[in-house]
Chains A and B, each alone.
Chain A
């Protein structure tokens, strides 16, 4: 079946502009996660969705970052007034999140470059 998909694959923007990043999880996966990977770094948790609710937003670095999920499926991560330090690869992952299966399947990521 289809895996997790993300769009766009690359985004170049100017400092101060807003950007929207999209994630399409695996069908039926109730849990959705956003992570950020800066150059040469590990993955940093941003936000977790269970269905359409976001019970854990603890990783969002500032109030310029927000995310939503609709229909228990597609999620959008929005970064307002982008800064150069926002440049990174933004990865989305989905999971069945059942007691027996917690594997997170990652999308290919969106590489964001803020000039």
Chain B
């Protein structure tokens, strides 16, 4: 069945450094790849997403890259700040409205700690 693998499971960086989280997916029909940030005890919040017709997308300090051939995508956070500390989840989905449900298949999560 569909599967998303996420690495690393934990990541500790110094404030100001960059952080990279990587995911691979199994379903070649996946065409939508969101990233969610979840702070302790809070709901997941979308931080960035990318569709399969785009190779890279950037929003301020956050960027996502997608390699469809290799079926992997990555989250890049530059100039990390202590408030970036949270659990990050990648997900994959087939969002073609006519024939699919759009359900998200999530990775296992990465706990990011940014040390001041």
CB-CB nearest in chain A for B45: A106
Chain A residues with CB under 8 A of B97: 97-99
Chain B residues with CB under 8 A of A97: 97, 102
Interface on B for A, CB 8 Å cutoff?
A: 6, 32, 34, 36, 42-46, 49, 89, 91, 93, 95, 97, 101-109
Q: Are A43 and B34 in contact (CB under 8 A)?
A: no
CB-CB nearest in chain A for B32: A102
Chain A residues with CB under 8 A of B101: 48, 50, 55-56
CB-CB nearest in chain B for A103: B46
Shortest C-beta distance, B29 to chain A (Å), equals 14
Q: Are A43 and B44 in contact (CB under 8 A)?
A: yes
User: When chains A and B are docked, how far (Å) is the Cα of A95 from the Cα of B89?
Assistant: 18
Q: Are A43 and B46 in contact (CB under 8 A)?
A: no
Instruction: State the interface size on chain A (CB cutoff 8 A).
Output: 28
Chain B residues with CB under 8 A of A106: 36, 43-45
14 contacts between A and B (CB under 8 A): A33-B103, A35-B106, A42-B109, A43-B91, A45-B103, A45-B105, A55-B101, A56-B101, A91-B43, A103-B46, A103-B49, A104-B34, A106-B36, A106-B44
Chain A residues with CB under 8 A of B34: 103-104
CB-CB nearest in chain A for B31: A102
Chain B residues with CB under 8 A of A91: 43-44
CB-CB nearest in chain B for A40: B109
Those of A98-114 within 8 Å (CB) of chain B: 98-99, 102-109
Q: Indicate which residue in B45, B93, B106 contacts A43 across the interface (CB closer than 8 Å).
A: B106
Chain B residues with CB under 8 A of A99: 97
Shortest C-beta distance, B66 to chain A (Å), equals 16
Q: Are B104 and A33 in contact (CB under 8 A)?
A: yes
CB-CB nearest in chain B for A98: B97
